[in-house]
Chain A
Amino acid sequence: MNKAEFIKALDIELARFDASEKKEILAYYNELIDEKIERGYSEAQAVASIGKIKDVSAGIKADLVNIRLTKRSSLSKISNSFWMLILVLFASPILLPVGIAFLAIFFSVSVTLLSLVLGFGLGAVVTAVAAIPIVIKAYANLGIGGAILVSGVILVVIAAFALLALVIFRVTIDLLKAIVTGLVKIIKKKSK
């Protein structure tokens, strides 16, 4: 296996990883192989010395679980810290108003942004449904060329809606995460 093949295979093996973490890992192995080649290894020897890709990724996965790095943890992490926060805030009379304010902010942000997501998502679906008669009409009036042109425009509109929904969804998750972790940090600092 040469270096490019190794990196490609490792890239695929790490598909579940957070993109920035994956980049770090690939850069690390890329650099290691280059260092070895610089010291007289052949490319194949350098790659072979790293070991099996399965072992490499297994080691990383086993060790990194503690450092908020895998893609999937994002949502469950929010819900974990969310319930911890609720418990802490509502257990203390001093923090109770903070808890109520936090809940209000948390829900207004999630409701506002998620309704936007739903709106754009619905927009995509409605456009798709509404498109059918329009495309049929275009075919009747303008022939196949017109129908293709009109479908193209409609697909762009649907894609735009879907993309907007997706982007806002990600932003919502990140924002909620920031609110929760920010508050956790403040409380930790205060309690020290």
Chain B
Amino acid sequence: MDIQTKKGLLDVVVLSTLIKGDSYGYKIVQEVSRVVDISESTLYPILRRLEAAAALTTYSVEHRGRLRKYYKLTNEGYGKVKLFIEDWDEIKRVYNFIVANARGKWRQ
């Protein structure tokens, strides 16, 4: 996938994995990897950015003698996911427009 497209999508993908419950770094990478190729080092800045944007909050829980950092979706974060879903009709229109233009080229 194109880097810019992926970047825009990843924020929403990451947030959407938190809808069913709070999660931690390793698990989020696993979940997201099911749909988009992502590395741990790509995830870190996304999480920080989303935290700075108040789309998620964090808290730490003790796990086997160490701390595990959990990420929790906020209302703002949920709003971003909802917005993306609601945007779908528009995205589809743009996609169809692009495809139609590309078809012109294919016919030649």
Residues of A within 8 A of B (CB): 24-25, 27-29, 31-32, 34-36, 38, 50-51, 55-56, 59-60, 63-64, 66-67, 69
Contacts and interface: CB of A to CB of B under 8 A. Distances in A.
Contacts of A64: 45, 48
Nearest to B52: A67
Given A27-B69, A50-B40, A51-B39, 8 more contacts: A25-B44, A32-B26, A34-B66, A55-B41, A59-B44, A60-B41, A64-B45, A64-B48
A66 B52 CA distance: 10
Interface in B25-77: 25-26, 39-42, 44-46, 48-49, 52, 64, 66-69
A59 B45 contact: yes
Nearest to B45: A63
Interface residues of B, number: 18
A28 B47 CA distance: 11
A66 B49 CA distance: 9
Contacts of A29: 40
Given A28-B69, A34-B66, A38-B64, A63 B39 contact: no
